[in-house]
Amino acid sequence: MNLLILGATGRTGRELVRVALSRGHHVTAYVRSPEKLGAERASLRVERGDALDTDRLSAALAGQDAVVSALGLPAKLALRPSTFMAEAAAATVAAMKRAGVNRLALVSAAVLFPGKGLFYAFFRWFLRHHARDLSAMETVVRATALDWTIARPPRLVASADERIRIASGTLPDRSYSLSFRALAGFLIDCAESDRHAGEIVGVAR
């Protein structure tokens, strides 16, 4: 398949590129900093552009079968008020509609699931600005007629552990972390099929 990856220079994105290439897909990395791509760069089509640039993105989307997005903000920006995630989602869905690409798998966060207890309440407060932006992002995506899947992972960790549990509309029990690699495998699974289309999915180790 022809897969376009957003956020391909990030921690999840690099795993997405690795997994997609290992499965034989034709991968386009739409990135603003191609120099950050690793050794895989030689096996990719690289399109330079900003995620908010609908015109550039729709041009890069010509001939693609699906989009996988692992866009994110650096921690210090994620802790401040931002509308980047929602704006990027709006640009992505507009570009997809224009280019006639229908399948979208993207990353949100488990903090949007309701939770109990003081620790969760503190965590939710600490991440309140990013959570608001992610919630707005999800609203944008859910309002489209695209075949979307939204994955909500808890804390992501760098590990070769590919274990993952999946629950529709909730976080699997006693789930505190997931590897970037396992998340990438799940998102590529979704892009390859209609699996979990129209669902918000809790994913965790």
Ligand X SMILES: NC(=O)c1ccc[n+]([C@@H]2O[C@H](COP(=O)([O-])OP(=O)(O)OC[C@H]3O[C@@H](n4cnc5c(N)ncnc54)[C@H](OP(=O)(O)O)[C@@H]3O)[C@@H](O)[C@H]2O)c1
Tell me whether residue 66 or residue 72 sits nearer to ligand X (CB atom). 72
The minimum distance between CB 79 and ligand X, in angstroms, equals 12
CA distances from 81 to 19, 77, 126, 134 (A): 33, 8, 12, 11
Q: Quickly count: other Cβ atoms within 10 Å of residue 63's Cβ.
A: 12
Q: Compute the least distance from the CB of residue 150 to ligand X, in Å.
A: 11
Instruction: Report the nearest approach of ligand X to the CB of residue 203 (Å).
Output: 10
Q: Which residue has the tokens 């900003």?
A: 50
Tell me which residue has its CB nearest to ligand X.
10
Smaller CB separation from ligand X, 146 or 179: 179
How far out from the chain centre does Cα 171 lie? Answer: 17
Residue 173 CB contacts under 8 Å (≥ 6 apart), including other chains: none
Question: Quick check: helix, strand or coil at residue 156?
Answer: strand
Q: How far is the CB of 197 from ligand X (least distance, A)?
A: 20
Looking at the DSSP assignment, which residues form a beta bridge with residue 201?
151, 168
Q: For the CB of residue 156, give the shortest distance to ligand X in the complex, in Å.
A: 4
In whole angstroms, give the CA distance from residue 88 to residue 93.
Answer: 9
Residue 8 vs 99, nearer CB to ligand X: 8
Residue placing its CB nearer to ligand X in the complex, 50 or 194: 50
Residues that bind ligand X (CB under 6 A): 7, 9-13, 32-33, 36, 50-52, 70-72, 74, 107, 109, 153, 155-156
Nearer CB in complex with ligand X: 24/79: 79
